[in-house]
Homo-oligomer: A and B are copies of this chain.
Amino acid sequence: MVTTATDIAKQAGVSQATVSRVLSGKGAQARIAKTTQAKIQALAKELHYRPSFAGQALVRGKTRSIGFMCGDICNPHFNELADLAMREVEKRGFHLVLAVIKWDATQNNLEAFDSLLARGVDGVIYFGADIRKGTAQHTQITGGKFPFVSIEQAFNGLPSIVSDNQIGLDEAVAHFKENGHRRLAYFGFAEPDKELPLARAAKRHGLSLSRHHVTIPLGAWAQIPQRVRAAAHQFADLPERPTAVFVSSDHLAHVFASGLWDKGLRIPEDVSVIGYDGTAAGGFMVPPLSSVDFDNERVIRLAVDTVCAQIEGRAGAAKKMVVPTRLLVRKSVVPVP
């Protein structure tokens, strides 16, 4: 049914090894006769030859594929990242295998990681979901031998790429201030990486800061939207409602905006908002969402470079890379009335 190199060898009257040499591009180097090459090439085309993935993987000990672990792929930040990763990885001759982290799992483990290893990936790019958890066991599994790079979350000793949120958040707060806002709020999951820099920035610029956390019980992952919406409703009903809100992700900002809308509030007329991630999707919100931009391109390029280097043995490289964030000004912040 499926054509193998041996089939071609038989028909061409040469050895299977010769076929392999020609078809894997080593023909020139091995100085195979032009005529033989041509014959084999022709046969290969005619019989729709396609090297067996499993055969190659087995003998090479590599599948030439890289795993990408991330949260809910319906979150624009993750799908935009996955899209970039796919292109970047393919550019280097690898395949990308996606694995979505299952937060609704009963255990707090990352089955996705096991799934990727079972799938035979040569390395993994790990990008935790919105809510981060310790994953000691898997860090151990990797043990520093397996090509691995983590985005945003730094595992001890393993290469990681984290963003410097202070810069972007400073700009965000400054932007709010320039527009006359005095009462700032944080809206989102509990994320110290964002809340601490935000608090610092607020202090620096003399704005008050309140925090509005959305909490999701373990296993209730599916009801995130409802809970976020409910939290937005609560926010809308606040007596001394802040006029400026930093939402911890663009994805949440969508739901937040929708929740405000339910209550008859509008962005930016009633409340000015800045998101986080700088997604393209945010640019199509009504109004276009200003956001702290994560520099996806750079992060992904670094991540892919890092795993590839490890896979190909050219190790070394920095252990921890820091990428700056910056404010992306669109239309969701206006002067306070």
Stretch at the interface among A71-79, A198-206, A208-216: A71-79
Interface size, A (range):
35 or more
Listed stretches A163-171, A177-185, A279-287; interface member: A279-287
| B65 and A72 contact, CB distance less than 8 A | no
User: Which chain A residues in 264-290 approach chain B with CB under 8 Å?
Assistant: 267, 280-281, 283-288
Specify how many copies of this chain sit in the oligomer. Answer: 2
- Whether A295 is near chain B, meaning CB under 8 Å from some CB there, is no
A120 to B54, Cβ gap below 8 A? yes
Residues of B near A141 (CB, < 8 A) are 48
Q: Which A residues have a C-beta under 8 Å from some C-beta of B?
A: 1, 48, 50-55, 57-58, 63, 65, 72-74, 76, 79-80, 82-83, 86, 90, 95-98, 100, 115, 117-120, 141, 145, 225, 254-255, 257-258, 261, 267, 280-281, 283-288
The CA-CA distance from A218 to B55 in the complex, in Å, is 37
Question: Are B97 and A97 in contact, CB atoms less than 8 angstroms apart?
Answer: yes
- How far in angstroms is the closest Cβ of chain B from A143? 9
Could you pull out 6 A-B pairs where Cβ atoms are within 8 angstroms?
A53-B120, A55-B58, A73-B79, A73-B83, A74-B79, A74-B281
